[in-house]
Amino acid sequence: MVFLVFTAWLILSQVMISLVQAFFAPAGYGFLAGITYAAQAGAHVVFIWIFRSHLPHAAGKKEAGLRNGLQMVLFSAMTGIGLCMAHRVLFFLFPQIAQSTLGQMTAEEQSRILNSARTPAYFLYVGLIGPVLEELVFRGILFNCCSGKYGRWYPVFITALLFAVFHRNPVQFASAICMGLILGSLLTLTGDIRITMMIHISNNVFSVMQSLFVKSGPEFSLSPAGIIASVLMGFLFLVWGFVQIKKRWSRGEPMTQIKGSGLRRLEDNLH
């Protein structure tokens, strides 16, 4: 079931993006990138609406007072930033992962990608809209589609794999599968999709903010000492945030599925 749903999602997403890119091909790269983000968001929204009955409901969730809510934001942000910093260990240990994609790009192409990453459309989609929609798709619909089969951790591994496949390039595959495992684990432990959304947003916003200070070309590469320091600090943030979230919001019940108007019920839970 989950693989059929995921395949339908990939087809829908690719068709919408291909149509938009074909129609707006004569436009400049910046405009085309922005309209592609809009098409991707539209595909997410359509998919979520079609499969809204599979959205999860966080049963037994604690009421979020101001202090509880601020702590949730703080530890989720710490976990997301730590995840963004720690994943560099993959590229330090396996540099061929990045070289397999970046090595095929010219300096002009790399510069163009970095420049597009500094646009408001990129920040809005990658930093805010994309993470929320992706969590509803992967840790929401797809996670719920394979829940109750082969144990409570089966959806964690399956959705992490699908999340990595969705990113469709070797550079992001490794980091995406690690992120998927961490987010899926926290969703299983807490049953609260708001936490995975905030972690995902924090990870992406921190990554986008870093791109503002990146220059194209080899001169921007971090030294091995800089990478090691970043990775160690990232692991510290990641582990501390994960432990604090598990300690404060862990619960034993499996997630239940919303019946009927799932999207409206989920929206109520997020407020």
pLDDT digits (tens, 9 = 90+) for 5-30: 888 878 888 888 888 878 877 666 66
pLDDT at 161 over 70: yes
Q: What is the pLDDT of residues 71-117, one digit of tens each?
A: 999 999 999 999 999 887 776 666 666 555 555 555 665 566 666 66
Q: In Å, how far from its chain's centre is CA 15?
A: 21
Whole-angstrom distance, CA of residue 155 vs CA of residue 141? 11
Q: Whose CA is closest to 207, among 256, 167, 257, 243?
A: 167
What does pTM read for this prediction? 0.83
Beta-carbon contacts of residue 137 (< 8 Å; ≥ 6 apart)? 9, 44, 47, 48
Length of the chain: 271
Q: Establish how many alpha carbons lie within 13 A of residue 48's alpha carbon, considering only the half-sphere containing its beta carbon.
A: 23
Structure tokens at 5: 């749903």
Q: Whose CA is closest to 179, among 162, 190, 168, 99?
A: 162
240, 245, 248, 251 alpha-carbon torsion, rounded to 10°: -140
| b/e burial code for range 107-145 (CB count within 10 A of at least 16 → b) | eeeeebbbebbeeebbbbbbbebbbbbbbbbbbbbbbbb
Q: What is the pLDDT of residues 38-60, one digit of tens each?
A: 888 998 999 999 988 888 664 44
pLDDT at 212 over 80: no
